[in-house]
Amino acid sequence: MSSSPPPSSAAASPSCPKKMIALRSSDGETFEIEEAAALQSKTLENMIDEDCAGTPIPLPNVTGKILAKVVEFCSKHAEPGVDDESLRAWDAEFVNVEQATVFDYILAANFLEIPTLLNLTCNVVADMIRGKTPDEIRKFFNIKSIFSPEEEEEVRRENHWAFE
Amino acid sequence: MSSTSSSSEDGGGAARRRGGDYEGPSTSRRRRGVNEVWPEPFLENLAAQVAIEEARSGGRLAVAPSLVNLFLVCSTWRNVSSSDLLWAGLTQRIWGRTHRTHPTWRDEFIYCHRTAANFRSRRSVYATLHFDPSEVNGDPYGLICRCLTLSELHLACGFADGSVRLFDLATRLHIATYQAPHRGGLGLHSRAVSGIVMSDSRLVFATLGGDIHVVMIDGGAPLRGAHVGDLVTDGVLVEFAGCGRWWVGLYAGVPGRAFHIWDSNTEEQVYVGGDLTDGESVAGWRMLTDLTQIVGRLRVTRQESAVAATSTRVLVIDLSGHGTPLRDLNYTRRGLIVTSVDADGDAYIVVDTRGLAVVRHVGRREDICRLNVRGAAHSRVMGCMNQGYALMCLAGAIRVWEVERGAQLYDLAVGIGEVSAIVASERHVAAYSNDSTIHLWDFGAE
């Protein structure tokens, strides 16, 4: 007697292959990601809904190096049965990278509209800037301030209420 | 799950984050203008995250300076300050306001910040409110205030003769008097007001006899009865409170019927039960002839729960769960000062007979702060609170504490005599002293 796999089986089977989405990075690398993982991205979700995901989706704003990590992140967060504590630990390790890589994550998360990655990187940056003055934050991130003394005074003036 | 790449390059996960000291990008990378890099949605998220963390660690008033710190970094970061969506989220999250009364959400946030700062710094405008004493017709009970309630626009005072007087907070004028009809009943004080629920448009009040009356403040509908009390079946309605969706009454005199809950939209009673006041039955009945009897206190929180207290017990019940007990605290050994109890937002305050005040979070088993109310063991204490501050009136003085830090700040008033009712909102404090003076302090930023 033959038996067919249960409809909700997580394992891929010949009769029920997982749908894969192809992504192409700015430097021409191609990555495949399960549709369930791709849905972590609102940008990709819209494309899937509009049936535009048949050919590799070009992502001109994301390099291959970063796209690989983004795929890894989305896949992990779409994985069934992962408890919150394990996921938090995994996330902590995921963002334990160079500052410049964190920036790249932010840009990719913004472009692809991945709320979970945006929130994660947001927490990282919030930790980085805690207790720092504006000047220290500029130096930390190598931000070139374009405030003239008059402009800075204007910002202080329009926000003087915060210090009354 | 798979991720295949046409390149074998590792994503670089082994590289360690270098934080703390200044670190520019590696020399092998193009030194890009970072000003243009930061996406605004991310910066908005960052500003919100910084604000929430600062509120937790430094208090609500520390949020604004921390945000300005971000705005001063560069023009891209400054641009975030023009996002009204950001300010809307922060105003709701930090100040608990979901409706806007100013032109923009930024203006609303600034107003909330300044008002709270005024509270901390004791910057207020003081006034006394007046009504025509001839209204009382010589009835001494018409000058005994039993409860005060504040909305954004009005102050309502409930009196022992069944009248509720309404004052406009902007003009400070007495604008209306609502009188519960006298239908006889047990005891001298069955008509005395036992609580008021008020929004900007609707006022609901109840009497010790259990009658509930509704009136539209804007004149849309006259005073009408919503519920007829039944003293014999239910006992005395010692306290009445409510929020947007629920009315709740605390009764004493008939065992097992301490709480009555109504759906305020349908005005239908949805629950009767509870044993909180079973031990106070005699005292409850005595309230009909002796207004100095204090049986219990009832207040409603933002989380659709009610905090009820007698001198020996505090009970928190879920209104949407039709009276399901959430927390039950015994004060038999220490004793509780019933008139000290109040609630606002997600917290409530209780003072025991030794003067130890505790502010607790309704939903969590944790104390927000503990305060020492000196003299509470020897004086009558009337208490109230808003989200940031607790006020205790004793021996003619009103003391103010900051709840976030548990720090005593100042005396708002001294020498005003005994107070029979006191109430606080985020902007106003009102108190009724026994010489029939209605005191009003306005901490508003305008």
pLDDT digits over B151-209, tens only? 999 999 999 999 999 999 999 999 999 998 877 777 888 999 999 999 999 999 999 99
Count of pairs with CB atoms under 8 A, one residue in A, one in B = 159
Place of tokens 């798979």: B2
Nearest chain A residue to B37 by CA distance is A107
Q: Which amino acid is at B373?
A: V
Cβ distance of A107 and B34 shorter than 8 Å: no
Cβ distance of B11 and A72 shorter than 8 Å: yes
Cβ distance of B72 and A155 shorter than 8 Å: yes
Look at strands B437-442 and B428-433 and give their pairing.
antiparallel
Give the other-Cβ count within 10 Å of A116's Cβ.
Answer: 16
Question: Which of A29, A118, A140 shows the shortest C-beta gap to B5?
Answer: A29
pTM of the model: 0.85
Q: What is the pLDDT of residues A141-155, one digit of tens each?
A: 888 867 888 998 999
Q: What is the pLDDT of residues B388-417, one digit of tens each?
A: 999 999 999 999 999 988 999 999 999 999
CA distances to A50, B108, B169, B358 from B361, in Å? 47, 26, 30, 10
Considering only CB atoms, which chain A residues are within 8 Å of B24?
142
Query: Nearest Cα to B245, choosing from B320, B324, B344?
Result: B320
Computed from CA positions of residues B251, B417, B444, B155, in that sequence, does the dihedral angle turn out positive or negative?
Answer: positive
Query: Nearest Cα to B444, choosing from B67, B167, B108?
Result: B108
B443, B428 Cβ separation under 8 angstroms: yes
Q: What is the pLDDT of residues B280-304, one digit of tens each?
A: 999 999 999 998 888 999 999 987 9
| Interface pTM, i.e. ipTM | 0.84
A37, A78 Cβ separation under 8 angstroms: yes
B122-139 average pLDDT score = 91
Using CA atoms, how far apart are residues B423 and B152, in angstroms rounded to an integer? 13
Question: Which of B3, B13, B38 shows the shortest C-beta gap to A71?
Answer: B3
Burial class (CB in 10 A: 0-12, 13-18, 19+), A40: buried
Confidence (pLDDT) at A144:
80
Would you say residue A4 has pLDDT above 80?
Answer: no
Cβ distance of B41 and A79 shorter than 8 Å: no
Question: Which of A65, A138, A164 shows the shortest C-beta gap to B12?
Answer: A65
Distance from first CA to last CA of chain A, Å, rounded? 81
Cβ distance of B13 and A94 shorter than 8 Å: yes
Name the maximum alpha-carbon separation found in chain B: 95
Nearest chain B residue to A104 by CA distance is B37
B233, B226 Cβ separation under 8 angstroms: no
Would you say residue B367 has pLDDT above 60?
Answer: yes
Using CA atoms, how far apart are residues B332 and B335, in angstroms rounded to an integer? 5
Distance of CA A114 to the CA centre of its chain: 5
Give the other-Cβ count within 10 Å of B164's Cβ.
Answer: 24
B434-438 average pLDDT score = 93
A138, B74 Cβ separation under 8 angstroms: yes
Sheet containing B235-242: give its strands across.
B235-242, B246-253, B259-263, B268-273
Considering only CB atoms, which chain B residues are within 8 Å of A134?
69-70, 72-73
Computed from CA positions of residues B312, B318, B323, B327, in that sequence, does the dihedral angle turn out positive or negative?
Answer: negative
Confidence (pLDDT) at A52:
66
Average pLDDT, chain B: 89
Distance from first CA to last CA of chain B, Å, rounded? 59
Q: Which amino acid is at B67?
A: L
Half-sphere exposure of B187 (CA within 13 A, CB side): 23
Considering only CB atoms, which chain B residues are within 8 Å of A140?
21-23
Please identify among residues 26-85 of chain B the ones whose CB lies closer than 8 Å to any CB of chain A.
26, 29, 31, 33-35, 37-39, 41-42, 45-46, 49-50, 53, 64-65, 67-75, 78, 81
DSSP state of B156: E
Reading phi first (left if > 0) and then psi (alpha if -120 to 50, else beta), residue A126 is in alpha
Would you say residue B386 has pLDDT above 80?
Answer: yes
Quick check: B435 contacting A, CB < 8 Å?
no
Cβ distance of A155 and B19 shorter than 8 Å: no
B127-137 average pLDDT score = 90
Confidence (pLDDT) at B115:
96
Using CA atoms, how far apart are residues A56 and A25, in angstroms rounded to an integer? 10
